[in-house]
């Protein structure tokens, strides 16, 4: 058996792919919605420069999450002693000392919410589409850059040796466990079943609509 190989994807190619995707989506949304997204991303960029401002919010939400998990583990029991004991044993995924993971969650959640919702059925002019595409290009650059910077800062704070060494001159991320088989070699049968079920449901839905119209 071979020892495998390393598949390298340059960061610039990933950035161009993300920027192109955001540009396409921005052209379909118009410049009004893209401009609002740009303003929020600029605010998140400000937190990157001054993470101390996000620390109190991350600390409070971390404590609140620990309390909720303690209540869930106790099945709603309000016994103060046992509640405190469970609370102390739970580790929050983020805290005020390292708020970058909290910022990553906020950034990803905002992007999903912003680009996953639809506006009213208003017509978008050609100029609005052009400006939306340009702003989408900028938003894609800011999103991929913020995620990269947040993740790097998070691991630097989590690992004292990395923090002492300072910013790395070069950063590489390796993905392990990728299947070597093709699309239909491993798990492909599930994809075929899902697509078949989707086609059957679509045909069934159309037949039901025709019967309702009659």
pLDDT tens for 13-32 read: 888 888 888 888 888 888 88
Q: What is the 3-state secondary structure (H, E, C) of 29-46?
A: HCHHHHHHHHHHHHHHHH
Q: How many CA atoms are closer than 13 Å to the CA of 65, on its beta-carbon side?
A: 13
Closest among 149, 135, 140 to 47, alpha carbons compared: 149
Same domain membership, residue 163 and residue 186? no
Task: For residue 26, give the nearest of 131, 121, 108, 124 by alpha carbon.
Answer: 131
Q: What percent of the chain stands above pLDDT 90?
A: 0
Provide the pLDDT for residue 59: 80
Q: What is the pLDDT of residue 7?
A: 65
Asked if 125 and 168 sit in the same domain, the reply is: yes
Q: Is residue 62 part of a domain?
A: no
Which residues, in sequence order, are CB contacts of 157 under 8 Å at separation 6+? 97, 98, 100, 163
Give the CA angle between residues 108, 111, 117 to the nearest 5°.
135
pLDDT at 126: 83
Model's pTM, two decimal places?
0.64
Tell me what pLDDT residue 89 has: 77
What pLDDT does 152 receive? 78
**pLDDT under 70 in the chain at which residues?**
1-7, 75-77, 79, 118-122, 160-192, 204-214
Long-range CB contacts (within 8 A, 24+) of 170-174 = 174/6
Domain contains 124:
yes
Q: In total, how many domains does the chain have?
A: 2
d(CA 18, CA 10): 13
Residues 108 and 213 grouped into a single domain: no
Do 168 and 202 belong together in one domain? no
Task: Identify the domain containing residue 189 by its residue range.
Answer: 177-214
What pLDDT, on the 0 to 100 scale, is given for residue 118? 67
Classify residue 91: in a domain, yes or no: no
CA angle, 178 then 184 then 190, to 5°? 95
Q: What is the DSSP letter of 53?
A: G
For residue 47, how far is the Cα from the chain centroid? 17
pLDDT at 1: 47
Nearest to 119 by CA among 29, 21, 1, 213: 29
Residue 183 burial (CB count, 10 A): 10
Domain for residue 6, yes or no?
no
Closest CA to 38 of 105, 102, 115: 115
pLDDT of residue 113: 82
The phi and psi torsions of 56 (rounded to 5 degrees) equal -60, -40
């Amino acid at each position: 058996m071979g020892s495998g190989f390393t598949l390298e994807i340059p960061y610039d190619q990933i950035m161009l792919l993300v920027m192109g995707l955001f540009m396409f989506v921005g052209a379909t949304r118009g410049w009004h919605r893209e401009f609002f997204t740009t303003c929020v991303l600029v605010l998140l960029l400000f937190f990157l420069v001054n993470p101390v401002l996000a620390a109190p919010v991350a600390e409070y939400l971390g404590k609140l999450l620990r309390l909720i998990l303690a209540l869930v583990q106790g099945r709603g029991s309000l016994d103060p002693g046992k509640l405190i004991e469970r609370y102390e044993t739970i580790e929050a995924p983020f805290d005020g000392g390292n708020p970058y993971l909290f910022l990553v969650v906020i950034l990803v959640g905002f992007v999903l919410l912003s680009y996953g919702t639809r506006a009213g059925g208003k017509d978008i002019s050609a100029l609005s589409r052009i400006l939306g595409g340009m702003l989408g290009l900028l938003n894609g650059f800011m999103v991929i850059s913020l995620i990269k910077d947040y993740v790097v800062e998070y691991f630097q704070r989590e690992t004292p040796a990395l923090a002492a060494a300072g910013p790395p001159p070069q950063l590489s991320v390796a993905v392990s466990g990728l299947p070597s088989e093709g699309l239909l070699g491993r798990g492909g049968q599930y994809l075929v079943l899902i697509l078949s079920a989707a086609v059957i449901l679509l045909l069934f839905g159309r037949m039901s609509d025709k019967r309702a119209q009659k």
